Amino acid sequence: MKVPKTFRIDPEILKKLNTFCASQDRTYTWVIEKALVAYIGGAGGAQTKQVATVAKNATVEVVAKKESKPKNDSSCEEIISYLNSAIGKNFKCGEPYKVLIRARMKEGYSLSDFKSVIDKKAKDWLGSDSAKYLRPQTLFGTKFDAYLNQVDTHSTEDSNQVDLEAWLNSEPDQSGEVFENGHY
């Protein structure tokens, strides 16, 4: 039978183990030895020596307890509410959307990142055939980072465009031509 050389211990159990070892004036080695004896199924002669050798050379690795799902319900509510107000829909913050939001938040994205993606895609897709994709499963899915980092193609200050109304209301120059902001 193969005997483990590394013992993985949950942090909560490690606290109990520390308390037990201190109260009994024992070491991890002693506890591991007893655990190995139980694991192997009893002690006897050569097995006890093997167990003692393994216990002395064993390492104890603390393993973090599996995280429970983070409760980002308030963030989910705020994000879905922001989406609804931006696109005029009425999505509810159900579990499928919570899963997507939690996944992105676990990746390190913030509330402002979600709002930025909503703003960018609403600006791009509202009023077009793509408007049907303005929904949580699309916006907060695997392309979230691409949406967040997309270049804004709707620049408000395009130097090649002339404000026609301002041009029409401007004063002509000496030749009778209207010149404003480098445009005739």
For the stretch 106-139, pLDDT in tens is 899 999 999 999 999 999 999 999 999 999 999 9
* 87-98 per-position pLDDT tens digit: 999 999 999 999
In a domain, 120, yes or no: yes
Q: Are residues 133 and 78 in the same domain?
A: yes
Q: Are residues 124 and 86 in the same domain?
A: yes
Tell me 160's DSSP state.
Answer: T
pTM (two decimals): 0.48
| Contacts of 19-28 spanning 24+ positions with Cβ under 8 A | 28/58, 28/60
With a CB cutoff of 8 Å and minimum separation 6, the contacts of 138 are none
Domain that holds residue 111: 73-148
pLDDT tier at 39, thresholds 50, 70, 90: low
